Amino acid sequence: MGNRRRDVLATGAALATLGLAGCNGNSDSDETGASTGTASGDGDGSASVDAAVAAEWNAMRARVWDAFALGCAREYGAGASVAQSTFARFEGASGEYGAHEMLEATSESNYEGFEGALGALRTAGLDAGDIERTREEASTASAQLAEAQRALVGESTANALALQSLGAAALDAAALAAAGHFEGARTTAEAVLTRFEEAAVHDALESADAESYGAFEGALGAAAEAAGNEDAETVRSEAATAYQAAIDGSYALADAEAAAGAGHVATLQARGWDAAALAATGGPSTDYAHAAALTLYRARAADAGWLAARGETDRAATMASDIFAHFEGARAHEALEEADGEAYEGFESGLSALRSAIESGDSSGVDDAVATVDENLVAGVEALAGSNAPLLEAAFFRARFADARELYRLGQNDAAATLAEGLFERFEADELGFHEAMESTDEELYHSFEEEHLSGLITAFENADGEGVDTHYEGVQSALLEFETAAGTTATVSGAEAAYMGARGFDAAVLDALGKASRAEAIAQGAFEHFEAGAGGYHEALEEADESVYEAFEERLGAVSSAAASGDDVYAPSKSFNAEALKSAYAVVESAGGSAGGAAAAVVQDAFAHFENARVHGMLEAASRSAYESFERQLDAYITALDEGGEVGAAADTFADASLYAQFALVDGVEELPLDLRVAGASGESGGKSGSGGESGGESNLQGGPNVVEGVPDDADHVVDMTAVAFEPAELTVSAGDTVAWTHAGGEAHSVTATEDSLPDGATYWASGDFDSESAAREGWENGKGAVGSGQSFVRTFETTGTHEYVCIPHEAAGMTGSVTVE
């Protein structure tokens, strides 16, 4: 860790200060309330443990705004994940001084309001792609915590926390300016200034610390002005000045230095969450370009099988050998081996079998080998592309539908229909998540693709309906490209289009080998026209990313067309074009910046540099050497995870735990820490209470019912874990007569409550607590019945076939739902 500290300190000034909490143009009223409680300090410099809890709520407020900010960036899935993990962390914060139970004890109204808004933030806002609803729910959730802070620690310390929250939000201007969003940066700085001027802390700070007051207001104004002038460096420095002024002012406002220190550490915890959120955004990583290369290999292997079936065994064997040779020297080679060793070996083995089957004239062996190659490449694409895999599947579908139409042109109607039917089956099987992705992206487009054009194309092939083939082929291709552009970014669409166009180059070579030079020329010309028309943004993106690759791409594609027109062999220029198509995928993806891990690491490095020179540094070291060392150690480990592509989520969680430990240490409250010190990475100090161990006050009055038992029954055929806010697995398929046990595996008490309207015909209503209706189950829960607590399980044997859907009542808003399908 010493090297890390030297590296950070050697940089002097902080690195690029990127923040997410608040997004651009946001305004909420969570700083404006009046005092409703008494101060936690006693005026002599001491602070109670309440201040540490209130500081933890500040970190949660920051995470709420992170989720909203991701929504602003149209990273709805990442935003929903942040909201979900925030809910999970809140639910897991049990114990008398845990954020969860303390909020419930401080104000049941604020507790219910926060949980409700946090759940709606994810479901009604982010999952639905409704940014205004997301803004509304984020503001409500944050305001509920702010109100509870005032009730718990009094106006002075609550004002200090509010100022720290505003200071952290000011850093958004720097993030937006660094990304070139100067209008958003200006709006953000102005919005934070407006919030400050309308907040109770405004007058309090002016009275308590005129210097910090002036610095904060002045820096915000200067940041807004610099953003208007598109001066990113000045925006960064002024935003950092505003943050520091907010921290300095908070010490003047708080009833006790330790209370301000706890809040100060919580802002650094919030910076850690900012980095985690930032790491989930940005352009696709290079792995996506590797996956695009694998997608092109899928199309090439299918082409080799096509040539073999037409009797062109020499060219087919050459194509199979060339795939192998190209892969051995490709950038995707090592990437696939590292991402999925089994898929790597299966792909190479399948290629070897394909070549052997082609050379021996074994037609069924060729089909089997092509299927093996494809199966392993699909696994590789999934491992490398992750959530972007559906875009590459769409590109593969486009290439294969083009193959089907060429088969139709060759008079092979049945073969064309069979190929299209096979693609339909892949779609229905949700290969690479494509079916679900298209349906969730645009339901109208999904129905048009599947029910109108895909079904219509199959029928047209079968009936030799030329006009129908043309109509539905264009409809299928248009829908697939529309899906790519709707679901992806310019970089991810470009990677998919590179794979598609590379495949079309080889299609031209196939048609040329079959003696159809005119069709080969038409394919190449059509590909060129598609690229010139924009290709979903691919044309412009490639030209901007690398002009030399762009020029070579167009030149090589033109060479394919020229070879076909002049009667020369098309295969050699198609191979050259393939190389340029793959180069183009890497060029565009890498120019998009890859993942935002580097920027995220800069955020945490900045937090480290700030801490080393901060007032709270000496305070924490004096309060608890163990907490101090744990905080620095976990901060260092977090930077390493971001730098080296480690488990960012786990590192963020552990750093947050170390921050919580530091917050409690600063107020001399380690004995009340609602966390096992080993979780926070501590050593050499006793104390601390595990949030999951022992009995929590919230469970002592809850009752299970006749179908809630201790432990997990030995005769259970299936076990579902109930974590903080999720059933794992959420979907389960069983046989009639099987017994399922839902066992408590984390968080507060849960319920397992069937949704009455969804039960199969003839099914008896069921729920933990043995209620006879959903309304009774919900009423029972309000009275403390039907709970499955720590160490317990709910057990049910299923007899009625069909799908039984269910929820956890207390965590339904967080998306804790599940289903059991009985066969």
Residue with more model confidence, 591 or 710 = 710
CA nearest neighbour of 469 among 479, 426, 481, 477: 477
pLDDT at 182: 78
What angle do the packed helices 210-228 and 182-198 form, to 10 degrees? 150
Element (H, E) at 577: helix 571-591
DSSP per-residue codes, 163-180: HHHHHHHHHHHHHHHHTT
In angstroms, the CA 353 to CA 750 distance is 53
The residue that leads in pLDDT, 497 or 168, is: 497
Say how far apart CA 405 and CA 775 lie, in whole Å.
Answer: 56
Residue 617, classed as helix, strand or coil, is helix
What's the pLDDT tens digit per position in 406-445? Answer: 999 999 999 999 999 999 999 999 999 999 999 988 889 9
Please name which of 52, 247, 102 lies closest in space to residue 696, comparing C-alpha atoms. Answer: 102
Top pLDDT among 62 and 323 is at 323
Strand order in the sheet with 802-807: 731-734, 817-822, 802-807, 753-754
Residue with tokens 């079936």: 309
Would you say 374 and 426 are in contact if contact means Cβ atoms under 8 Å apart? Answer: no
pLDDT digits (tens, 9 = 90+) for 483-527: 999 888 888 999 999 999 999 999 999 999 999 999 999 999 999
CATH 2.60.40.420 fits 708-822, yes or no: yes
pLDDT of residue 698: 41
690 pLDDT exceeds 50? Answer: no
Residue 342: Cβ within 10 Å count: 11
| Cα–Cα distance for residue pair 632/638, rounded to 1 Å | 10
For the cut 90, the answer to whether the pLDDT of residue 791 exceeds it is no
Q: Please give the average per-residue pLDDT across 657-664, as a whole number.
A: 94
Local confidence band at 224 (pLDDT 50, 70, 90 cut-offs): very high
> Higher pLDDT residue, 814 or 385?
385
- 61-75, 629-643, 701-715: range with lowest mean pLDDT: 61-75
The whole-angstrom separation of Cα 88 and Cα 71 is 19
- pLDDT, tens digit, 9 for 90 and up, residues 696-749: 334 446 777 888 999 999 889 999 998 877 889 999 999 999 999 999 987 778
Give the separation between CA 672 and CA 684, rounded to whole angstroms: 17
Cα–Cα dist 122/806, whole Å: 19
Q: Per mean pLDDT, which range of 329-338, 461-470, 612-621, 638-647 is the poorest?
A: 638-647
Question: pLDDT band for position 448 (50/70/90)?
Answer: very high
319-338 average pLDDT score: 91
Q: How many CB atoms lie within 10 A of CB 495?
A: 35
- More confident of the two residues 177 and 352: 352
Domain positions in the chain: 2-18+44-282+595-672, 286-591, 708-822
CB atoms within 10 A of CB 693: 11
Q: Which of 268-282, 329-343, 461-475 has the weakest average pLDDT?
A: 268-282
Please give the Cα distance from 247 to 14 (Å, whole number): 16
**Quick one: which H or E segment has residue 41?**
none
Q: Which residues contact 367 (CB under 8 A, 6 or more apart)?
A: 305
Say which range, 30-44, 55-69, 302-316, 403-417, has the weakest mean pLDDT: 30-44
Percent above pLDDT 70 for the chain: 87
Mean pLDDT over each residue of the chain, to the nearest integer: 86
Name the pLDDT band for 219 (thresholds 50, 70, 90).
very high
Question: Is a pLDDT exceeding 50 seen at residue 453?
Answer: yes
What single letter denotes the amino acid at residue 159? N
- Cα pseudo-dihedral 248, 252, 255, 261, rounded to 10: 20
Which value, in Å, is the radius of gyration of the alpha carbons in the chain? Answer: 30
The pLDDT confidence band at residue 681, using thresholds 50, 70 and 90, is: low
Residue owning tokens 């190659």: 373
**Residues 125-155 pLDDT 10s:** 888 888 889 889 998 999 999 999 999 999 9
The DSSP element (H or E) to which 123 belongs, if any, is none
Largest CA distance in the chain: 94
Q: What is the pLDDT of residue 371?
A: 96
- CA 788, CA 809: separation in Å to the nearest integer? 11
Least confident of 11-15, 29-33, 510-514, 516-520: 11-15
